[in-house]
Amino acid sequence: MVSATPTAPPATWLPLVRVGPLGLPLLAAVLIIAPVFLQAPWVREAPMAASLFTAVLLLLALRRGGELGALLVGFSGSWLAGCLFWGWLRLHPLVHLPVEAFALPLALAGLSGPWRRAGQFYLGSLAGTAATDAAIALCGLMPLWPAVLAAGPGEAAPLLAEAAARVLEPAHLLTVASIAGVMLAAAALLWRRGPGGRLVAACLLSTLAIDGLFLLLALVLPTASGLV
């Protein structure tokens, strides 16, 4: 009698990457930083196409599954929010945070289920956005926001330089330093609270790094700063 040799079930979807202990935080950092340079110009030129790309992200997330798939679900929410605001509402800074928070109920509801990484990434990204917007508002820069985005490249540079100079005023610099300190302290605390905490901490630290980069560029090379 000949025994059948067991065969492995066919793989319907091979893993894209293997996620180690630091894999999710590192990927979260990439997903915070990359859209600043990739999504922003796409949204500026073709907001509808960039928005529809959300469906591709969701399809990849569902096909991948697991923690990486859940992370991509959270990223797709942040991606769509960014497309909606920067594509059609960018001259209205007061609605920035509400638009970015459109999926907040879903993110909160998902924290206790299999999609918790989606909620954690979305909340980390949203917290970073809220901190940035708070710094802009407290430094009195909100009126410059629509002016910079409505200006041409040559006109935007001096406005960005003016905004950076305002940030360096002692009271404003203290405000920005305080917000950055809170973000750093929160990230340090979250990092010790397991994989989900490290994911959120990575979002906060990446946002802080991007904000610092744009402030530096606005000071030394305003023509290269900002998403205008």
What's the CA gap between 68 and 24, in Å, rounded?
Answer: 7
> Is the pLDDT assigned to residue 133 strictly greater than 50?
yes
Higher pLDDT, 224 or 208: 208
28-75 confidence digits (pLDDT tens): 999 999 998 899 899 999 999 999 999 999 999 999 999 999 999 999
For residue 220, what pLDDT is reported? Answer: 87
**1 DSSP 8-state letter:** -
Contact 135, 163 (CB under 8 A): no
Q: What is the pLDDT of residue 169?
A: 97
Residue 221 is predicted with a pLDDT of 82
Confidence class for position 3, pLDDT limits 50, 70, 90: very low
Percent of the chain with pLDDT over 90: 77
Check residue 225 and give its pLDDT: 61
* Residue 152 pLDDT grade (very low, low, confident, very high; cuts 50, 70, 90): confident
pLDDT at 171: 97
**pLDDT > 90? residue 155:** no
Q: Provide the pLDDT confidence category of residue 21 given band limits of 50, 70 and 90.
A: low
* 51: helix, strand or coil: helix
Q: What is the pLDDT of residues 174-202, one digit of tens each?
A: 999 999 999 999 999 999 999 999 999 99
Domain boundaries, the chain: 23-224
Percent of the chain, pLDDT > 70?
Answer: 89
Q: What is the mean pLDDT of the chain?
A: 89
How does DSSP assign 71-116, residue by residue? HHHHHHHHHHHHHHIIIIITT-GGGHHHHHTTTHHHHHHGGGSTTH
Query: Alpha-carbon torsion 8, 13, 14, 18, what sign?
Result: negative
Phi first, then psi: what are they for 57, rounded to 5°?
-60, -45
Mean pLDDT of 66-90: 96
Could you identify the residue written with the tokens 């509400």? 98
Would you state the pLDDT for residue 222?
78
Query: pLDDT value at position 8?
Result: 39
